[in-house]
Each structure stands twice: as structure tokens, then as C-alpha cells.
Chain A
Amino acid sequence: QVQLVQSGAEVKEPGASVKLSCRASGYTFAGYYIHWVRQAPGQGLEWLGWISPNTGGRNYAQKFQRRVAMTRDTSITTAYMELTRLTSDDTAVYYCARGLYDRSGNWWGFDYWGQGALVTVSS
């Protein structure tokens, strides 16, 4: 069965960086983009960007372009998301999700999600 298993909760001080992992299993890792989405406490969902496990290509939401880096290690079917220069506004649950596309590359949705990782930014 498809699974995305994320690393655990993190507590960081303002100005620090955090790197989260998302280990995929149950499907061909290279065949599906991995997206990262966050949710601040009591708030809605916010998309950060995606990475192609096949090519390493990536696309970030403009809001995060200067602070986010997405990478992957195909040997262990794991995607990573690093966010730098953290502030209290970055306190949120961070999810990885698998992108669902048709054969023409048209996007359909995010069909599997990780369990989420809470990042708390506090001094």
C-alpha cells in the first residue's frame, strides 16, 4: 500500500532552519511528484512547492522561493524539505503529499498524504 512517512516534530528557535523528511513506499517513487503543504494552527492549507523524484526538478511557491529547498534521495525513496530563517509564523504542521497526474501531465490532486510533522518556532 502507498505510504508517506514523515519525520517527527521539531522545535526551533527564530532564525534557525528545519529539514523534514518524507519516506515513500508502496509505489514507484520516481513516478510521482512530491508536494509539500503546511497548516498553521487553526488555519487552512498552504502549498510550498514540489519536487520531481525522477529528475530532481522543483517548483516553489513564490512566497517561499528564497527560504525553501526541496531535495530527494532516490536510493532510499525519501524527499526532503528545508525551510530557513524561521519565524513564529512558520509554526505549522508540514505535510508531504503525492501528486496525482494523468498521462498528459494534467494535475488531478494530491492522492496520498504523510501524517504531518509539527514544527514549532519559539525562543
Chain B
Amino acid sequence: SYELTQPPALSVSPGQTASIPCSGDKSGEKYGCWYQQKPGQSPVLVIYQDTKRPSGIPERFSGSRSGNVATLTISGTQAMDEADYYCQSWDSSVGYVFGAGTKVTVL
């Protein structure tokens, strides 16, 4: 099997930086991506290929990777960034895998 591990929750003050790690349990990690999902809405792609931002996604969202840990960083967090965030990657044995999600609360 293949699993992605994220913290279940994270709190951040407005204007501060939120960093969400996503750890894979295999070496030689493939590229991953990140989604934002607000209550009652469909997920939105905010980072792909570990570090790239789709058109229309604010610059305060960035991604990075070190070994088997991908990280989503929200700089200057705003109230509108309060949402669930999911990492995703692909593995040849199980297909497309999601992390369990991190609920980001902006206090």
C-alpha cells in the first residue's frame, strides 16, 4: 500500500504563515499536488507538480518538497484561507492517493 500522512488540524493567526507537511511512506516520491476544499464546495487545485501554482491561485500559496515530505505553505494567511487541505500523489501499485486532510483554522 501507499499512504500520505498529514496533521489533522492546524491553527494560524491572520497574517501569519501556515505550513502543512505531507509525508509519503515510500522513497523516490513522485510529484504531488494540493487541493483546498471549503465546506460544501468541490476541491480546488492550488499546487501541482510539488511547486507550481495554477492560474488564478494567489501567490501566498506555495509548495516545496524535501525527500518524501511535501509541504504546502500559506504566507500571510487570510480568513478566506480557512478550509480543508489535501495532498495527493500517485503510486504505481495503488493509483492516485490522497492524504486524510488538514483542517486549517484562522483564529
Q: A residues within 8 Å of B by Cβ?
A: 35, 37, 44-47, 49, 59, 61-62, 95, 97, 100, 106-111, 113-116
Contacts and interface: CB of A to CB of B under 8 A. Distances in A.
A52 to B, nearest CB: 14
Interface residues of B, number: 23
Interface of B: 31, 33, 35, 37, 42-45, 48-49, 52, 54, 86, 88, 90, 94-101
Contacts of A44: 86, 98-101
**Secondary structure at chain A's binding surface: helix, strand, loop or mixed?**
strand
B61 to A, nearest CB: 13
B49 A95 contact: no
Contacts of A37: 98
A100 B98 contact: no
A95 B42 contact: yes
A84 to B, nearest CB: 20
A45 B95 CA distance: 13
B49 A35 contact: no
Contacts of A62: 94-95
B9 to A, nearest CB: 13
Nearest to B1: A62
B43 A45 contact: yes
